[in-house]
Amino acid sequence: MTVRGFDPATAAAGGQRIAAYADAARHGPVQRVDLAGVGEVWLVTGWAEVRQALGDPRLHKFPSGPRRLALQLVPELAPATGQHMLNMDGEPHARLRRLVTSAFSRHQARALESRVGELTEELLDAMAGAAPDVAVDLMECFAYPLPLTVIFEILGVPIDWRDDIHRCFTSVFAASFAPPDEFIAAFQRLVELIRAVVTLRREEPGPDLLSSLIAVRETGDRLSEDELTSMIVLLLGAGHETTSNLIGNGVRCLLTHPEQLAALRADPVVAVEELLRFDPPLQMTFPLRASCELDIGATRIVDGDLVFIGLLAANRDGDVLAEAERLNLARTPNQHLTFGHGVHHCLGAALARIEGRVALVRLFDRFPDLRLAVAPEALERNPSLLFNGLAALPVFPGAQAQS
**DSSP state at residue 361:** H
Angle at 389 between CA 251 and CA 285, to 5 degrees: 125
Q: E-strand spans in 63-164?
A: 136-137
In this model, does residue 64 exceed pLDDT 70?
no
How much is the mean pLDDT over the chain?
88
Distance CA(92)–CA(256), nearest Å, equals 44
Bridge pairing between strands 2-6 and 30-35: parallel
**Which DSSP string do the residues of 325-355 spell out, in sequence order?**
TS--TT--S----TT--GGGS-TTHHHHHHH
pTM across the whole model: 0.91
Q: Which of 143, 56, 182, 106 is nearest to 353 (CA)?
A: 106
Element (H, E) at 312: helix 311-314
The tens digit of pLDDT for each residue in 215-255 reads 875 555 556 888 888 888 888 887 788 999 999 999 999 99
3-state secondary structure 202-216: HHCCCCCHHHHHHHH
The proportion of the chain whose per-residue pLDDT surpasses 90, expressed as a percent, equals 59
321 pLDDT tier (thresholds 50, 70, 90) = very high
Distance CA(122)–CA(359), nearest Å, equals 11
Cβ of 22: how many Cβ atoms within 10 Å?
Answer: 15
In this model, does residue 65 exceed pLDDT 60?
no
Peptide bond into 333 cis (omega under 30): yes
Q: What is the mean pLDDT of residues 104-111?
A: 75
**Which DSSP string do the residues of 51-92 spell out, in sequence order?**
HHHHT-TTEEE---THHHHHHHH-GGGHHHHH-SGGG--HHH
Element (H, E) at 3: strand 2-6
Distance CA(78)–CA(72), nearest Å, equals 9
